[in-house]
Amino acid sequence: MTRAHVAIAHDYLTQRGGAERVVLTLMRAFPEAAVHTTLYDPKGTYPEFAQADVRVSPLNRVSAFRRDHRLALPLLAPAASRLRIDADVVVASSSGWAHGFETADRTRTVVYCHNPARWLYQTDEYLGGRAWRSPLGPPVMAMRPFLKRWDRERADRVDVYLANSRVVQRRIRETYGRDAELLPPPHGMDASAPREPVPELDGWEPGYALVVSRLLPYKNVDAVIEAVRGTGRRLVVVGRGPEEARLRATLPDNARLLGGLSDAQLRAVYGDAGVLVAASHEDFGLAPLEAAAFGVPAVALRGGGFLETVIEEETGVFFDRPDPDLIAAGLARADQVTWDPARLRARSEEFGEGRFIERIRTVALEEGGTG
């Protein structure tokens, strides 16, 4: 039987986050596959993509779009429609665009869905409050009828949907009327790999609270900062995004905001943390698994994907709302628990990369009858 020609698709490679780590895993699952995307910023995303065959849309010529993909929101649907992929199988990592890239009629399309387009179906949450107050809100709201039709039409062409969490599995059914297999993503953190010190943390003893998150309104990083303001607890925030300038402007002395860390530096930051704080509305709770790989427990929002990755009193504790007082109370509770690092690491290993690669290859190739 001839070998199938596989291609990988992803919305945009402009950030460092869980979705981009999934693409790195897909590259290991399908090492000969080209990666198709609308935008690619080598400085903004993981350096491993420099070794890949990355193919971009014409929008990539606009540097402002590479710096902030949200500026291109009104243009991404037309760009995705014109981005043609010639392959037997397309494996798309999608949170709103990559499932819409153009393919031949014979192509089998498997979509690993991080979420149906949050900017389209959860617009207020995505833009940080009432959408009409955001500069991006009016154009997005005006285009919603067209974009929803486009999104549903493209979703109907997909052969197989895979969901990264039960929350997203339910949203796929409600949004597209499609059933999706649950396949949690791998966490991608190897605690045994080399570590590199972070100069900004010179003199800081291990045991600080840690946030690893994109700096977007719905991530609630500001609430975590307020939870430690005026206390003796130290906080390290690792991330980049539109909220960075606002957060830096009022950052207290007991907090550090770090961006652009290498993986070796991120491993060092995880390894020296005492607790991870996860206050965002997540579809899949990835950061607690990354922390658990280093034997670090989590204080997490009771909701969404964190309910699937955090085991209360075994690998973390919950708070009910992203409120500074509740986060502070959660941190205090975590201080009283004697955590078992071996249990934490075992939980992390349940979401290893090998399991993910084996299943995605089976769904894409063997179940499709192409290789």
- In sequence order, which residues have a C-beta less than 8 Å from that of residue 276 and are 6 or more positions away? 209, 210, 211, 212, 287, 288, 290, 291, 296, 297, 298, 299, 300, 316
Strands 255-258 and 316-319, sheet pairing: unpaired
Do 133 and 271 have their domain in common?
A: no
Residue 62, pLDDT > 50, answer yes
Structural domains of the chain, count: 2
Taking the C-alpha atoms of residue 141 and residue 120, their distance in angstroms, rounded to an integer, is 8
Query: Given pLDDT bands bounded at 50, 70 and 90, which one contains residue 158?
Result: very high
Q: What is the mean pLDDT of residues 247-276?
A: 96
Taking the C-alpha atoms of residue 231 and residue 321, their distance in angstroms, rounded to an integer, is 20
pLDDT of residue 260: 79
192 inside domain: no
The CATH number of whichever domain residue 321 belongs to comes to 3.40.50.2000
The CATH number of whichever domain residue 361 belongs to comes to 3.40.50
233 inside domain: yes
Do 101 and 206 have their domain in common?
A: no
Taking the C-alpha atoms of residue 243 and residue 259, their distance in angstroms, rounded to an integer, is 12
Do 178 and 232 have their domain in common?
A: no
Taking the C-alpha atoms of residue 23 and residue 236, their distance in angstroms, rounded to an integer, is 27
What residue numbers bound the domain in which 25 lies? 6-186+352-366
Do 226 and 79 have their domain in common?
A: no
Query: Given pLDDT bands bounded at 50, 70 and 90, which one contains residue 267?
Result: very high
Do 255 and 278 have their domain in common?
A: yes
Q: Give residue-wise pLDDT tens across range 272-307.
A: 999 999 999 888 889 999 999 999 999 999 998 899
Do 233 and 151 have their domain in common?
A: no
Exposure b/e, 171-200, CB count within 10 A at least 16 = b: bbeebbebebeebbbbbbbebeeebeebee
pLDDT of residue 340: 98
- The crossing angle, in degrees rounded to 10, of helices 18-29 and 353-361 is 60
Q: Give residue-wise pLDDT tens across range 117-138.
A: 877 787 666 565 555 556 666 7
For the chain, report the end-to-end CA distance as a whole number of angstroms: 6
Whole-structure pTM value: 0.76
- In sequence order, which residues have a C-beta less than 8 Å from that of residue 255 and are 6 or more positions away? 225, 228, 229, 234, 235, 236, 237
- The crossing angle, in degrees rounded to 10, of helices 221-228 and 324-336 is 60
Do 341 and 203 have their domain in common?
A: yes
The conformation of residue 245, written as its DSSP 8-state character, comes to H
- Residues 116/176, Cβ–Cβ less than 8 Å: yes
Q: Give residue-wise pLDDT tens across range 165-213.
A: 998 999 999 999 999 999 999 987 889 999 999 999 999 999 999 999 9
Do 144 and 244 have their domain in common?
A: no
302 inside domain: yes
- In sequence order, which residues have a C-beta less than 8 Å from that of residue 77 and are 6 or more positions away? 97, 100, 146, 147, 150, 151
Do 14 and 83 have their domain in common?
A: yes
Do 360 and 336 have their domain in common?
A: no
Do 135 and 11 have their domain in common?
A: yes
The structure tokens 């979420």 sit at 115
Q: What is the mean pLDDT of residues 332-343?
A: 98
Do 237 and 287 have their domain in common?
A: yes
